[in-house]
Amino acid sequence: MKTSPQNTPPPLKFSKEINACGLKCPEPVMMLHTALTDVAEGQLISMQATDPTTVRDVNNFCKYLGHILEDHKQEEGIFHYVIRKKKFTD
């Protein structure tokens, strides 16, 4: 008999994934900016980077432009970000 984990959220679906590993400032944020122009409002972007300045830069970028930094974590020297494109109001 199969058992399913209780209270496990469904996996996130990303509209775009960015691999900025090995790139230095400002390239990761420039890639994020370009990706955000390619996705619809409310969609998610996943980004991985190795430059520690992205911690500050991605956070400030999202705050300044109104996008939502849904998640941020660091694992084995790689910074993982989940960004949701802001919804525009009329």
Specify whether 21 is catalytic. Answer: no
Catalytic residue among 25, 39, 69, 82: 25
- Beta strands 68-75 and 78-84 are antiparallel
Catalytic amino acids?
25
